[in-house]
Amino acid sequence: MPLEAGLLEILACPACHAPLREEGDELHCTGDAECGLVYPVRDGIPVLLVDEARRPS
């Protein structure tokens, strides 16, 4: 379920403050290679907790 366009425009990575891009049911940090965290979206709600994020594989 895609996020509202306006919501995605204001969301940022909590770790590095870079913009996020939506890919499927996850939000990917567009920041530098040191961050690059991937945040889950559960039931249409972004979970922007660093402890819940994963490193891309």
pLDDT band per the 50, 70, 90 thresholds, residue 1: low
List, for residues 35-57, the tens digit of each pLDDT value. Answer: 999 999 999 899 999 999 999 87
Relative to beta strand 45-46, strand 26-29 is: unpaired
Between CA 46 and CA 3 the distance in angstroms is: 9
User: What domains are there in the chain, each with its CATH number?
Assistant: 5-52 (2.20.25)
User: pTM (2 decimals)?
Assistant: 0.88
List, for residues 15-32, the tens digit of each pLDDT value. Answer: 999 999 999 999 999 998
Between CA 5 and CA 20 the distance in angstroms is: 12
